[in-house]
Amino acid sequence: MSDPTEPDAGAPAEEAARAAAFYGRRKGKPLRLGQATAIAELLPRLAVDVSRAPVDPARLFPGPVDEIRVESGFGGGEHLIETAKAHPSIGFIGAEPFVNGMAKALVAIHEAGLEDRIRLHHADSVLLLDALTPASIGRFYLLYPDPWPKKRHWKRRFVERDNLDRIARVLRPGGEFRFASDWAPYVDWTLKRVLEHPAFEWTARTAADWREPWAGWPGTRYEEKAIREGRTPAYLVFRRV
């Protein structure tokens, strides 16, 4: 019997191999009993079946939702869960390859009673984006992604043309791509590549628009660590034209 806490359990082999380009390890400390149970029992109920493409995200939820939002690499789920609490008419899909982050988020989703409005993808978001129907989501979040600071690892950065094409395909006109990072070179990298893409426009008009979090920002543990260590986060909002 396979171990449900193993990172590739239940994931297509090609997904596991391809996804490794955008992150490092998939598993950290041993899971607590409640976390392992959540991986084994709750995750299958909330998981998006990307093998059954095209996937209309509105049909993933038991009741009607006004909009669908996707968060790529949600870590421990702090932003995903707090934002879902604040917007009870919106459906959320979170993608996260790291087993411990997924387990932590699952426990919190259950405790918050959000099983009806959050769906999950236990890998990075590439195959999820490929599976979703065009113009089907209103917002895509990429918050504090691994910046891969060494030059030889830059090819692993998520923000590149193919993935921007994917994001543009699933965002409805007027939808938003929201990006946050404390790593200045990756902020510059992202700004350059998104502005070069014809499907996006940067919404900032003043310095405060990218220096200050957007309204309703709940914060994340990555942000707390960055500020504690003296790094200044940036918050970029791009509109789908």
Chain segment 169-192, per-residue pLDDT in tens: 999 999 999 999 999 999 999 999
* Percent of the chain's residues with pLDDT above 70: 88
* Mean per-residue pLDDT over the chain, rounded: 90
14 has a pLDDT exceeding 70:
no
Q: Under a CB-based contact definition with an 8 Å cutoff, are residues 67 and 138 in contact?
A: yes
88 upstream amide cis, omega within 30 of 0: no
2 has a pLDDT exceeding 50:
no
Known catalytic membership, residue 146: yes
pLDDT for the residue numbered 10 = 40
The pLDDT confidence band at residue 6, using thresholds 50, 70 and 90, is very low
- The predicted model gives 75-91 an average pLDDT of 96
Which tens digits make up the pLDDT trace of 130-184?
A: 999 999 999 999 999 999 999 999 999 999 999 999 999 999 999 999 999 999 9
- The predicted model gives 31-54 an average pLDDT of 93
The pLDDT confidence band at residue 69, using thresholds 50, 70 and 90, is very high
Over the chain, what HEC string results? CCCCCCCCCCCCHHHHHHHHHHCCCCCCCCCCHHHHHHHHHHHHHHECCHHHCCECHHHHCCCCCCEEEEEECCCCCHHHHHHHHHCCCEEEEEECCCHHHHHHHHHHHHHHCCCCCEEEECCCCHHHHHHECCCCEEEEEEECCCCCCCHHHHHHCCCCHHHHHHHHHHEEEEEEEEEEECCHHHHHHHHHHHHCCCCEEECCCCCHHHHCCCCCCCCCHHHHHHHHCCCCCEEEEEEEC
Domains of the chain: 13-240 (3.40.50.150)
pLDDT for the residue numbered 30 = 82
The pLDDT confidence band at residue 29, using thresholds 50, 70 and 90, is confident
Say which residue, 221 or 116, is predicted with more confidence: 116
pTM of the model: 0.88
Which tens digits make up the pLDDT trace of 98-111?
A: 999 999 999 999 99
Choice among 3, 56, 146, 182 that is catalytic: 146
Say which residue, 220 or 8, is predicted with more confidence: 220
pLDDT for the residue numbered 48 = 98
